[in-house]
Amino acid sequence: MKNITPWWIRVPIIFFLIFGLMEYFIDSGEQPAIIEYPIVALFLVLVLFILIAIELILKSVENVMFQTLPPEAKERYELSKSKQWEWKWGKETWKKLTGNKPIEEENEIILDHNYDGIRELDNNLPPWWVYMFYATIVFGIIYLARFHVFDGYTQDMEYEQEVAEAQIAIEAYKKTAKGLVDANTVELLTDATDIKAGEAIFTSSCVACHMADGGGGIGPNLTDEYWILGGGIKNVFHTISEGGRDGKGMIAWKQTLKPAQIAQVASYILTEINGTTPANPKAPEGDIWTAEAAP
Ligand code: HEC
């Protein structure tokens, strides 16, 4: 039996081929499939086991067949094995890259001076090192042309671009992290879940003074377009968070409610309460608030 490639090349190649194909064909969103679906990892481990098992079986078959060979055939077989191309190829590449002269040929490169028996070899620079040096030259030329002759991007542009990217990332983060809002950044929430949560907070904490329908009692009417402390999501958020004027009875709710909850209850007031007609409306207090007049 003649092996074309040794097992330590064959097994990894097949394994990573299967791995790559799975990653390519399984739609797993942003995460790699192996992390998104643990079953994939399990499957790959199984594949690896099977590959190793196949190798072991091949090896033992080879062994059994080897034992049945006559002695001279055994010898021939051993010889052909030791000459397998990957060793030859590996050794030759290694030799080419180091550029070493074997000891037997050192007399070709020995210099003719002799200091108390110490003699000098005129070795070549190791080719791996020389190739790297050439690579830096090529890189240098391309770099020079790109950035000094043809005006590539500058550090300033790179900076601007990264700042812009970061800005986008911050915006995206703020959208998911609702807890980060304050009176300056809050936006009216429209999600049904947020409004529902806002309603729950209103029912448990606010109805005592504002009434369930917002008509007002100790606190002012929240259904009309008159606001003492300013309408609009930002002002309402600020009022709930920091409280009303001293001595009026509206406490600063930031002690008890998280910013996200304040945003929810403020949004609930503005979308579900404001603009409705309550059973016993309290007389308007404050001024008509319009978005244009807002500071
Ligand atoms: C103890 C009674 C009381 C409770 C409880 C209360 N409020 Fe008030 N609220 C008031 C009073 C009184 C004012 C008027 C404050 C002022 O005049 O400065 C007010 C004002 C407001 C305003 C501003 C109205 C305007 O015209 O500018 C909003 C909005 C508001 N409350 C929302 C809430 C929310 C939301 C809750 C529940 C988390 C709540 N309040 C709980 C008494 C209360």
d(CA 6, CA 198): 67
- The answer as to whether 209 is a domain residue is yes
Q: Is residue 144 part of a domain?
A: no
Q: Is the CB of 231 under 6 A from ligand 1?
A: no
Q: Within a domain: residue 289?
A: yes
For each of the chain's 295 residues, which pLDDT tens digit applies?
455 677 888 899 999 999 999 988 888 878 888 888 888 999 999 999 999 999 999 989 988 998 898 888 888 888 777 666 667 787 888 888 888 888 888 888 888 888 999 989 988 888 999 999 999 999 999 999 998 888 888 899 999 999 999 999 988 887 777 677 888 888 899 999 999 999 999 999 999 999 999 999 999 999 999 999 999 999 999 999 999 999 899 999 998 999 999 999 999 999 999 999 999 899 999 999 887 655 4
Q: Is the CB of 239 under 6 A from ligand 1?
A: yes
Residues in contact with 28: Cβ distance below 8 Å, sequence separation at least 6, in sequence order: 35, 36, 37
Strands 118-121 and 226-227, sheet pairing: unpaired
Domain containing residue 237: CATH number: 1.10.760.10
Are 279 and 215 within 8 A, CB to CB?
yes
The whole-number pLDDT of residue 64 equals: 92
CA-based nearest residue to 253, from 205, 207, 199, 194? 205
Which residue lies with its CA nearest to atom 13 of ligand 1? 219
Question: What's the pLDDT score for residue 290?
Answer: 80
**Pick from 174, 244, 175: nearest CA to 209:** 244
Residue 293 is predicted with a pLDDT of 53
Nearest CA to ligand 1 atom 7: 250
Tell me which of 27, 60, 83 is where a domain ends.
83
In this predicted structure, what is the pLDDT of residue 1?
Answer: 45
Which residue, by CA, sits nearest to atom 30 of ligand 1?
240
Query: Does residue 91 fall inside a structural domain?
Result: no
- Whether residue 150 lies inside any domain: the answer is no
* Of the residues 60, 83, 106, the one at which a domain ends: 83
Residue 172 lies in a domain: no
- Pairing type for strands 118-121 and 110-115 reads antiparallel
Structural domain harbouring 55: 7-83
Distance, first Cα to last Cα, the chain: 88
Q: Pick from 83, 115, 139: which residue ends a domain?
A: 83
What does the pLDDT read at residue 83?
63
Ligand 1, pocket-test mutation among 195, 209, 222, 261, most atoms within 8 A of CB: 209
255 belongs to a structural domain: yes
Atom of ligand 1 nearest to the CA of 244: 18
Q: Is residue 142 part of a domain?
A: no
Q: pLDDT at position 3, please?
A: 54
- The pLDDT assigned to 241 comes to 94
Distance 10 CA to ligand 1 centre (A): 74
Count how many domains the chain has. 2
6 lines ligand 1 (CB under 6 A): no
Which residue minimizes the CA distance to atom 5 of ligand 1?
206
- In angstroms, rounded to a whole number, what is the distance separating the alpha carbons of residues 262 and 240? 7
Contact 122, 110 (CB under 8 A): yes
H helix runs in the chain, sequence order: 7-25, 33-36, 38-67, 71-82, 85-98, 127-144, 155-176, 192-205, 207-210, 232-242, 259-268
